[in-house]
Amino acid sequence: MSYPSWQPGEGPKDPQARQRPGGVPSWRGQGGQPPVWYGQGGPPQPGHADGSHSMLASHADRERAVDVLRAGFGEGRMEQAEFEKRVARAYAARTVGELALLVADLPQGPVPLPAAVGAVPRTFLPLPVPKTNEKAIGSAICGGLCLVTVGLTGLPAVILGHSARSEIRRTGEGGDGLALTGLVIGWLATASWTLVVTLLLIAALTTG
């Protein structure tokens, strides 16, 4: 891709390209100035005249032109040297018409990339997090309460723990560690109460 050899405000140097029927230069708008269509999606249609072609460019206008140049350079539409030359001319441009000439042969923004074809392979998808079994949570809670209730919730912890582990093996839910914790604490509490009751009975029988 080569940059046009004519400067902003000048016409093409090919005499045949300079004229159209009626003796009016084909590239000029009203008043002999270059047409301005920057930011309007394309060059004006025949018969259309825009009186703002000589409007002084603002900083925002220059930045928009440079953004279009960056997009074209990123898509490989121009070489590094040409890109740097156009950017320098964009920042030095005085009018909106000069900016329009710099981006005339580029799309007004980056071309959208095509959507990915096909679904993502299942191997690369994140693994679903299994649901935690509710009975396993209850077993762990009852096991923790054994310290507060002096082991009175040990038996519920054992029952819920065994039931939870059975459901986890069948359904693949999570929470096996919670159920196992509740089971261990529950069995310890139950064994402690069993030992206490046994000693009390032996003492009662001995003293009786």
Instruction: For 62-77, write each residue's pLDDT tens digit.
Output: 999 999 999 889 888 8
Domain tally, the chain: 2
Of 102, 120, 147, which closes a domain?
Answer: 102
Q: Is-contact 50 42, C-beta < 8 A?
A: no
The pLDDT value recorded for residue 6 is 45
- Which structure tokens are listed for 176? 């096996």
Residue 90: CA atoms inside 13 Å, Cβ hemisphere, count?
24
- Residue 17's pLDDT is 41
Q: Is residue 123 situated within a structural domain?
A: no
- Whether this model's pTM surpasses 0.75: no
What is the CB neighbour count within 10 angstroms for residue 171? 11
Q: Is residue 89 part of a domain?
A: yes
Amino acid at 177: G
Q: What is the pLDDT of residue 107?
A: 81
- Asked if residue 69 belongs to a domain, the reply is yes
pLDDT at 193 over 60: yes
Question: pLDDT band for position 202 (50/70/90)?
Answer: confident
More confident residue, 182 or 51: 182
Longest dimension (CA), the chain: 135
Sorting pLDDT into bands at 50, 70 and 90, what band is 206? Answer: confident
Name the one residue in this structure whose structure tokens are 């249609």.
45
Higher pLDDT, 137 or 146: 137
Q: How many CA atoms lie within 13 A of 137 on its CB side?
A: 6
In a domain, 49, yes or no: yes
Flag whether 10 is in a domain. Answer: no
Residue 9 lies in a domain: no
- 8 lies in a domain? no
